[in-house]
A and B are shown apart, each in its own frame.
Chain A
Amino acid sequence: MTTKLFGTKVPRVEDQRFLRGQGRYVDDLLTDDPRLLHAAVLRSPHAHARIVDIDVSDVLDLDGVVAVWTWEDLTGPMAEPLPLLIPHPTLTHGRTQYALAREEVNYVGEAIAFVVAVDRYVAEDAVARIRVDYEYLEPVVGIDAARAAERTVHDDVPDNVGARMEQENGDARAAIAAAPHTLTLELDIERSACTPMEGRGTVARWDPDTSRLTVWSSTQTSTGVRGCVAAKLGLDLARVDVITPDVGGGFGVKVVHPWPEELLVPLAAKTLGRPVKYTEDRREHFISSAHERAQQHHVEVGFDDEGRVLGLNVEFWHDHGAYTPYGLIVPIITSTQLLGPYKPQNYRVVFESLYTNTVIVTPYRGAGRPQGCFVMERTMDAIAAYLGKDRTEVRSTNFIQPDEFPYEHGLIFQDGRELTYDSGDYPASLAKLKELVGWDEFEEFRAEMAAQGRRVGIGLACYVEGTGVGPYEGAHVHIETSGKVKVATGLTTQGQGHQTAFAQIVADTLGVRFEDVEVTTGDTRKMPYAVGTFASRAAVMSGSAIHLAALRAKEKALRIAAEALEASEEDLEIADGVVSVKGTDASIDLGTVAVLSNPLRYAFDEASKAATQFSVGDPGKPPVAEDDEPGLEGKDFYSPPRSTFANGMHAVIVETDPDTAEIRILKYAVVHDCGHLINPMIVEGQIHGGVAQGVGGALYERMAYDESGQLLNASFMDFLMPYVTEVPTSIDIDHLETPSPLNPLGIKGAGEAGVIPSAAVFAAAIEDAEGFPITAMPISPSELFELRLAHADDTTEATTRSTP
């Protein structure tokens, strides 16, 4: 009997190659090819400037330089702006950059020239020799400057407003006006970034014999890159293969496509007839890949004596940087996912998406949700403080109840579909969280600490996350005559353990040994129809597609086996790769079934003899039936009507040093509901990583731009990504499994969850410790110190705090 693997902590198959140093990341490829060339990019040193002249005359004389491109050298679609990937009717002033800047640069780091040389060292030497005359323009840096609009980023975008979008359910303003109590909050979040350990990178090789281009890219979407490369280079799609090798983390930034280099590398490879590699370095990653998070929010809320929200009106301003390649996905997610597990009776949200002369903004793990969660949870805390109620009580009052699913919010989500929650049990999650963190015992702990002169605070935050957005993913399952099962799905993997989790699904669905399943992701040669890995969608989308494809393969296997065993399909079962008639000794290996599925003329080994023309089949019928095809395969696609909504709640206990204002984490607790778990070990790993990234975003990381648009902390020295010493020493996790009714496995996405409530939960805990409002995140000890000074006059507020 095959053991059920779904839901168990199966060790990862990926680990073997990673642990031996045999992973193949993009910069590892073609290293032994002597013809390989290396690229470097000249990037704008200015945040805003007109390009008067580019002089590359010193470059080609340099020994080892092969070619240099500027915009002038680009032709056809390559000379046009990069695609605006996700248009939206309200994005009235969308703008995208050119692969190489044409006439104007709009952020420090924008690509201007592309050099190809024998190695990266020489390519950088060449970049240093390019002379550019700039006419400086005053930059627009930060949301305040963008809103003030004294200057504009793009001449033809008045007021720097790329989009204005409004949604409303009910009449929020009227409800607030009529409410017994009202509050107004101003809430800010600063910029941060994904910063995977591996930067971006692309390798391309043109094969003149077959007129085929092979592109390897460290991307979250092979098919996206393929489509863009084919379109921009004017190649038939069938001439372009995109393969995603091992990827050293993505977190969102690698889903943008194409990056300029993802086009320029293939262009150079095709033009020069030699393979070309571009590997982004760390400084480039900071100044030329994407950032996220910066938003300012104005909140008006009306509520009753119980803390029930009667009306919520949110206006916010989103900094999307210099261009809008990814459309409005981030602010749309904020505007819709802000609601969390709550049901405000009336809700209005309006945002403006603003241009600034800084790096572009595209989704970073959480994608607008951390900001939305921060806004909603700060609002819940403010209501509780105002009414003198326990913070969990106010939340409970506003929860959508388990019997109210599916719950329709009356809004449109990021995928253009209705915002409808499929399932969840928020009161049960909250009860688990209170237990896990010791919510009810905290006042005792606070008193104990206070007696030692120590200052502590507790906070909690709840979120709901739309996961598994469409449009679709597909899978192909092929049972070979050896009995081994080869599975292909088109989305890519960046360390989430998909090869393991997907193999678990196949092993269970087909009834084969886990060890016999091999999963390929992100290779357009194996599965050309795919979307990509983002929005916590891989397990939901490809997991479901793989399950469906495996069912199809199983169906066929049973049909052929039934014929061979002269039994009825209902009497068959498959376990450990063997089809047997229940309760008898009669059986046949899946590998043999695969042989039988493919009528042969030639016997090329012992096994295939069984399928040759004198061995099988009814001589009176065609060897392959009219409605059948050879081979033991299954292929299917999963396309859900809408997203499935995971949820969770985090709580943290912090200690703030009364003298130094340092912030320490004493306890971190997570309750997480992503439906059925395929592999709890992997899910917990995702939560760990998300929480650590959230700690970074809340307490350490920011993008420190000066007023001229220079990023002052474009290194790991000054962009303070947490080490082990900065993250909680333990993360207490409890799961709730409320299955999704929308997919066959009852699963929901888990990848982004850990990072969503961080800003909210730390702000709440620090506020609870300090006794004054925390309205801007991230927060550093220096900022906490300055806040203490600002609130020092109000000593009564600082020493007496409302009950949590």
Chain B
Amino acid sequence: MTTSPEELHDVRLHVNGSVHEVRVPARRLLSDALRHDCGLTGTHVGCEHGVCGACTILVDGKPMRSCLMLAVSAVDAEITTVEGLTEDDGTPQGRLSPVQQAFSDCHGLQCGFCTPGFLTTITAGLAENPDPTEDEAREMIAGNLCRCTGYQNIVKSVLRAAELGKGEE
């Protein structure tokens, strides 16, 4: 039994302010398209069933699981991945955003695998609630799994990021 090649779809993905034209089968998960077709490997895949949160990206500013979306279904969206969080300061690398900087300040990461999902989630969370209480900080990250940090310093990072975001050094 031979099979015919799978139908491919031309998809325009808007990621971090750039347009990526990719040719993918309908079943291509958005997480895979970002990582393997767009080369944005900062988005990580930890479970592929929507529970761990490592693959969380921002879709029109809202955190969503990229492993629970199809690339073909993401055509109309503005996508932000971890690579798009740094702020322009004239250098090629860019400056760490307040959330990224807070993670460095507070030792909010160890192996770094879950980190991109936390960074995107918190970035959106602080946009909605720039001054969270400790409980609200916890609630903000309650859908993301981390196996290394025990979350203690991630909660601190959320609060620190809120301070940095308000210009409190």
Contacts and interface: CB of A to CB of B under 8 A. Distances in A.
Given A681-B107, A685-B149, A197 B54 contact: yes
Given A25-B44, A495-B110, A689 B100 contact: no
Contact of B111 (A195, A247, A721): A247
A22 interface: yes
A715 B155 CA distance: 26
Given A21-B116, A198-B44, A725-B142, A689 B148 contact: yes
Interface in B33-52: 35-36, 39-49, 51-52
B112 A248 contact: yes
Nearest to A754: B150
For A18, A689, A721, the residue with the greatest tally of chain B CB atoms inside 10 Å of its CB is A18
B3 A21 contact: no
Contacts of B107: 11-12, 681-682, 684-685
A63 B47 contact: no
A754 B150 CA distance: 10
A420 B25 CA distance: 61
A275 to B, nearest CB: 14
B43 A197 contact: no
A9 B24 CA distance: 47
Interface stretch (A370-378, A594-602, A690-698): A690-698
A688 B150 contact: yes
Contact of A716 (B36, B39, B51): B51
- The listed residue with most B CB atoms (<10 A of its CB), out of A15, A497, A724, is A724
A251 B113 CA distance: 14
B103 A19 contact: yes
A90 interface: no
A14 interface: yes
Most central of A25, A61, A693, A730 by chain B CB within 10 Å: A25
Size category of the binding interface on chain A: 35 or more
Interface in B109-153: 109-116, 119, 134, 138, 141-153
Contact of A197 (B52, B93, B94, B105): B52
A185 interface: no
B153 A197 contact: no
Main secondary structure of the interface of B (DSSP, over half): loop
B145 A197 contact: yes
Contacts of A281: 48
A689 B86 contact: no
A196 B41 contact: no
Contacts of B110: 249, 495-497, 685, 689
A58 B1 contact: yes
B166 interface: no
B56 interface: no
A16 interface: yes
Contact of B109 (A15, A58, A64, A730): A15
In the complex, which of the residues B107, B110, B142 has the most CB atoms of chain A within 10 Å of its own CB atom?
B110
Contact of B138 (A25, A716, A724): A724
Given A21-B81, A21-B82, A715-B47, A688 B153 contact: yes
Interface stretch (A27-35, A75-83, A222-230, A306-314): A27-35
**Size band of the interface chain B makes with A:** 35 or more
A497 B146 CA distance: 16
Contacts of B151: 688, 692, 723-724, 727
B119 A19 contact: yes
A195 B93 contact: no
Given A21-B42, A723-B142, A716 B96 contact: no
Contacts of A25: 41, 44, 113
Contacts of A137: none
A11 B105 contact: yes
B18 interface: no
A17 B113 CA distance: 11
A630 B4 CA distance: 62
A55 to B, nearest CB: 13
B39 A32 contact: yes
Nearest to B51: A716
B100 A248 contact: no
B46 A121 contact: no
A617 B81 CA distance: 57
Contacts of B109: 15, 18-19, 495
A23 interface: yes
A23 B103 CA distance: 15
Given A15-B112, A281-B48, A688-B149, 4 more contacts: A11-B105, A19-B119, A198-B111, A685-B148
13 contacts: A19-B115, A20-B83, A195-B147, A196-B113, A197-B113, A282-B47, A282-B48, A690-B150, A716-B145, A723-B142, A723-B144, A724-B154, A729-B138
Q: What 3 A-B pairs are tightest by C-beta distance, nearest first?
A: A21-B42, A495-B111, A248-B113
